[in-house]
Amino acid sequence: MRLDGIRVLDLSRLLPGPYATQLLADSGAEVVKVEDTGAGDYARAMAPQTSRDTGAIFEMVNRGKRSVAIDLKSEDGRAAFYRLVEDADVVLEGFRPGVVDRLEIDYETLTEYNEELVYCSLTGYGQDGPWADRAGHDLNYVALAGLLDMTRESAAAKPQPPGYQIGDMAGGLFAAFAIVGAVLSRELGNTGGEYIDVAMADVVASFSQSIAYQSLTGDPAEPRPGETALTGGVPWYDSYETADGEWVTLAALEPKFWRAFCEAVGRDDLVDEHGSQDPDVLAALETELETLFRDRTRDEWDAVLEDVDAAFAGVYTPAEMVEHRQFRARELIERSDDRPPRIGFPARSSDPPSEHHEDVPDQGEHTRRYLADAGYDEAAIEALLETGAVR
pLDDT of residue 138: 98
Q: What average pLDDT does the chain have?
A: 97
**Rounded mean pLDDT of 319-325?**
97
Q: Is the pLDDT of residue 354 over 80?
A: no
pLDDT of residue 353: 84
For the question of residue 269 being annotated catalytic, the response is no
Q: Is the pLDDT of residue 224 over 80?
A: yes
Q: For 315, how many CA atoms within 13 A lie in the half-sphere containing its CB?
A: 15
Which DSSP string corresponds to 80-125? HHHHHHHT-SEEEE-PPTTHHHHHT-SHHHHTTT-TT-EEEEEESS
pLDDT of residue 1: 82
Long-range contact pairs involving 108-113 (C-beta distance under 8 Å, separation at least 24): 110/82, 110/85, 111/193, 113/82, 113/83, 113/85, 113/86
Which DSSP string corresponds to 214-242? HHHH-SS----TTTSTTTTSSTTEEEEE-
What SS3 class is residue 5?
coil
> Pairing mode, if any, of strands 7-10 and 90-93?
parallel
pLDDT digits (tens, 9 = 90+) for 145-188: 999 999 999 999 999 999 999 999 999 999 999 999 999 999 99
pLDDT of residue 153: 92
pLDDT digits (tens, 9 = 90+) for 255-298: 999 999 999 999 999 999 999 999 999 999 999 999 999 999 99
pLDDT of residue 352: 87
What SS3 class is residue 339?
strand
Q: Is the pLDDT of residue 356 over 90?
A: no
Question: What domains can you pick out in the chain, each with its CATH number?
Answer: 7-207+347-387 (3.40.50.10540), 238-323 (3.30.1540.10)
**What is the rounded CA–CA span in Å between residue 301 and residue 251?**
14
pLDDT digits (tens, 9 = 90+) for 100-118: 999 999 999 999 999 999 9
Selecting among 26, 41, 71, 168, the annotated active-site residue is: 168
For the question of residue 357 being annotated catalytic, the response is no
Selecting among 76, 87, 137, 149, the annotated active-site residue is: 137
